[in-house]
């Protein structure tokens, strides 16, 4: 399942961003955030006992599914718990800011903020370290939200005086979310008076989310009146989550009234997810009644994803009964992702028993991707036990990045154990690229001692390019000690190319002192990079090189750049070059590149080539181009030329 992400207002909590999950907790009811019910079993009656506060694992599970937390009643939200002593408050604040796990940190900050009265909030804000990182900004925003529950005007005044614009924007939106939950009209009047801009937009988003719980009609009216289609798409998931928590049937009816598009898709996905948490069967029955296959698949996918979090075996049995096709494939894929978060080996055993095909491969990949995030080594070892073929190849592609990120040396050792072929080559290539970012010498050493000649030729250039970004001289010293061959030439060329992007003059001086056998590709790279910024200096350097392949490569790189920007000056420069093979090659290149726009001039330049064979070949190339654009003029020129009659006949026959 493709996780729905709000680009503005909500990002998954696990990212740790200020604009992340805590903002969702605020906009749908920060005050209700301590009683998370996203994973509760369906209530059997209206008087069911409210669920206990969410554990970090439960919150993380809900986050990973892309589901929206459903919060419980907020009847006593403004009543703080037993007051904390100054020492206890300071300790809890320090612990919350120091917590490394994003989900645990989120809950710790929420619990701390909810235990404070207005005076203590103000004191805590005074003691809070400067909001220069995401953790302190998140804590600040939560405190402002709590303050706004108790005194919205004071909280807003504080938020508006914050010096950092980004923190000010989120704190203001957070305060307005609390205010809108109690006095929506007053909050909306305040927002209406704000100057246009991102801050007003975020404030409007927060009000819309909040009203979605209490006044769906008003929330939708606000959204339609104040948001562009793109903005509505961004907020539709959160808005309809808010609406569905109170009345999923009504929210579903509203969603079906939306125009077809991403906004409707997000709304259906959100409603289906929230509805299934409280009444899975009712949600399934509703989804089956949707008229279009696209709407049905969207809703079913969301329902099955949530179901798989709660009871993956039951969700798998249901998916097996669906009609074969894309809808069933997506359901199976979603189940594998959700199942693997808690029981990766169970998910993989189930996936392996599925019929061979796209659905099975996607299920295996999703299960392995989830497993690799928690235990990449175990997931990688499992792949080694798979039968060689398409399923194993796809699995390798899905897990290689996680392996390399965890332990690049271990990942390379693992890749060496894979069956020789496309999957192994792809894995080694990915790992080497990532390794080169961390330690290019170690990556190069590994390839040169354990990699095949083909792999060395293919990858040493990409490793060198990474090396050139930090220490091109060290990389070149390494390359000079390599045995002669393609790997060495590729590495020198990539190093010089990367160096030339940073300091073309220094790279050019280095290339000038290389042996002729190592100089050809490097000279072309330097000239090409240098010409992008200073074509005159580049051309002067290229012209200083001795006659040979390196000079020819450099001159052609100058032509390629100059002819695109100023062909007239390029022609003047060509006219200044001394006769020789390198000039002939550059003139031939120039003639070919200008032949479409100016064939008469191009053929004159081709005729100036000193080598008879090269001249004849270049003239024929230009003449053929001219024949396509102006056959009459080209024919007249050919007939009047000094070309051999055989060549004339051949050109005229192709007319």
pLDDT tens per residue across span 24-48:
333 333 323 322 322 222 222 333 3
Task: Quote the radius of gyration of the chain (alpha carbons, Å).
Answer: 33
At 559 the pLDDT is 93
Q: At what angle do helices 516-531 and 535-544 cross, to 10 degrees?
A: 160
At 156 the pLDDT is 92
Contacts of residue 97, defined as CB under 8 A and 6 or more positions apart, other chains included, come to: 105, 129, 135, 136, 139
CA separation, residue 7 to residues 19, 24, 302 (Å) = 9, 12, 19
Q: Which residue has the tokens 């290539």?
A: 429
**Rounded distance, CA 360 to CA 478, Å?**
46
Q: Which residue has the higher pLDDT, 79 or 397?
A: 397
Query: 580's torsion region: left (phi>0), alpha (psi -120 to 50) or beta?
Result: left
| pLDDT value at 555 more than 90 | yes
pLDDT tens per residue across span 339-357:
888 888 888 889 888 988 8
pLDDT tens per residue across span 369-409:
888 777 888 888 888 888 888 778 888 887 888 778 778 88
At 294 the pLDDT is 87
| pLDDT value at 62 more than 80 | no
Residue 647 CB neighbour total at 10 angstroms: 15
At 130 the pLDDT is 65
Q: How confident is the model at residue 55 (pLDDT cuts 50, 70, 90)?
A: very low
Q: Provide mean pLDDT across the span 109-118.
A: 84
| pLDDT value at 19 more than 80 | no
pLDDT tens per residue across span 162-184:
888 888 888 898 898 888 888 88
Tokens of 241: 């989550």
Residue 195 CB neighbour total at 10 angstroms: 6
The DSSP code sequence of 279-321 is -HHHHHHHHHH-SSHHHHHHHHHHHHHHHHHH-HHHHHHHHHT
Helices (H), 34-182: 56-65, 86-98, 102-114, 118-127, 134-150, 152-160, 165-182
pLDDT tens per residue across span 578-631:
999 999 999 999 999 999 889 999 999 999 999 999 998 999 999 999 988 898
pLDDT tens per residue across span 410-450:
888 888 888 888 888 888 888 887 888 888 888 888 888 87
CA separation, residue 138 to residues 16, 55, 476 (Å) = 9, 20, 47
Q: Provide mean pLDDT across the span 185-206.
A: 86
At 81 the pLDDT is 53
Q: How confident is the model at residue 654 (pLDDT cuts 50, 70, 90)?
A: low
pTM, two decimal places: 0.47
Mean pLDDT of the chain: 79
At 100 the pLDDT is 75
| pLDDT value at 18 more than 50 | no
Contacts of residue 194, defined as CB under 8 A and 6 or more positions apart, other chains included, come to: 200, 203
At 64 the pLDDT is 34
At 606 the pLDDT is 92
Tokens of 324: 């074969």
Diameter of the chain measured on Cα atoms: 106
Percent of the chain with pLDDT strictly greater than 90? 17
């Amino acid at each position: 399942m493709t996780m729905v992400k709000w680009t503005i207002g909500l990002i998954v909590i696990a990212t740790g961003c200020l604009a992340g999950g805590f903002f969702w907790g605020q906009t749908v009811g920060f005050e209700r955030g301590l009683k998370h019910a996203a994973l509760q079993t369906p209530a059997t009656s209206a008087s069911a006992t409210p669920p206990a506060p969410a554990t970090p694992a439960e919150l993380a599970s809900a986050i990973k599914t892309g589901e929206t937390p459903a919060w419980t009643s907020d009847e006593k939200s403004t009543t703080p718990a037993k007051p904390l002593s100054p020492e206890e408050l300071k300790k809890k604040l320090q612990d919350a800011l120091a917590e490394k796990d994003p989900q645990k940190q989120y809950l710790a900050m929420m619990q701390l903020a909810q235990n404070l009265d207005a005076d203590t909030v103000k004191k805590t804000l005074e003691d809070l370290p400067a909001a220069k990182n995401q953790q302190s900004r998140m804590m600040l925003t939560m405190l402002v939200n709590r303050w706004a529950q108790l005194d919205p005007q004071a909280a807003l005044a504080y938020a508006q005086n914050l010096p950092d614009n980004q923190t000010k924007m989120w704190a203001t939106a957070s305060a307005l979310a609390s205010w809108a939950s109690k006095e929506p009209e007053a909050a909306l009047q305040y927002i209406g008076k704000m100057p246009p801009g991102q801050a007003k937009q975020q404030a409007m988003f927060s009000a819309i989310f909040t009203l979605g719980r209490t006044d769906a009609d008003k929330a939708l009216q606000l959204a339609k009146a104040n948001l562009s289609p793109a903005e509505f798409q961004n907020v539709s998931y959160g808005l309809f989550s808010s609406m569905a928590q109170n009345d999923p049937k009504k929210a579903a009816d509203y969603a079906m009234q939306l125009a077809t598009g991403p906004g409707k898709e997000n709304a259906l996905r959100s409603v289906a997810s929230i509805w299934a948490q409280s009444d899975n069967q009712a949600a399934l029955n509703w989804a089956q009644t949707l008229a279009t296959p696209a709407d049905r698949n969207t809703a079913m996918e969301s329902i099955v994803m949530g179901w798989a979090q709660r009871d993956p075996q039951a969700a798998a049995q249901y998916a097996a009964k669906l009609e074969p096709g894309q809808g069933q494939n997506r359901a199976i894929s979603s189940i594998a992702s959700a199942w693997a978060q808690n029981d990766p080996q169970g998910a993989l055993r189930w996936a392996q028993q599925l019929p061979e095909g796209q659905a099975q491969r996607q299920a295996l990949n999703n299960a392995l991707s989830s497993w690799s995030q928690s235990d990449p080594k175990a997931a990688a070892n499992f792949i080694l036990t798979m039968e060689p073929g398409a399923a194993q190849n796809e699995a390798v592609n899905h897990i290689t990045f996680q392996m390399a990120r965890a332990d690049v040396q271990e990942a390379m050792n693992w890749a060496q154990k894979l069956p020789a072929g496309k999957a192994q080559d792809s894995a080694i290539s990915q790992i080497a690229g990532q390794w080169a970012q961390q330690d290019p010498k170690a990556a190069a050493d590994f390839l040169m001692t354990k990699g095949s000649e083909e792999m060395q030729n293919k990858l040493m250039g990409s490793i060198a390019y990474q090396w050139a970004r930090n220490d091109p001289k060290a990389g070149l010293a390494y390359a000079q000690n390599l045995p002669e061959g393609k790997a060495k030439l590729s590495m020198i060329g990539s190093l010089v190319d990367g160096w030339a992007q940073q300091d073309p003059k220094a790279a050019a001086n280095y290339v000038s002192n290389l042996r002729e056998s190592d100089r050809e590709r490097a000279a072309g790279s330097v000239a090409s990079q240098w010409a992008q910024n200073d074509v005159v200096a580049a051309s002067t350097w290229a012209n200083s090189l001795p006659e040979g392949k390196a000079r020819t490569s450099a001159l052609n790189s100058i032509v390629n750049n100059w002819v695109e920007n100023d062909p007239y000056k390029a022609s003047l420069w060509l006219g200044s070059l001394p006769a020789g093979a390198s000039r002939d090659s550059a003139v031939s290149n120039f003639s070919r590149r200008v032949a479409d726009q100016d064939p008469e001039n191009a053929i004159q330049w081709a005729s100036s080539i000193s080598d008879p064979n090269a001249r004849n070949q270049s003239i024929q190339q230009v003449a053929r181009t001219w024949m396509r654009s102006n056959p009459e003029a080209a024919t007249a020129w050919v007939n009047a030329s000094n070309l051999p009659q055989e060549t004339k006949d051949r050109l005229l026959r192709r007319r």
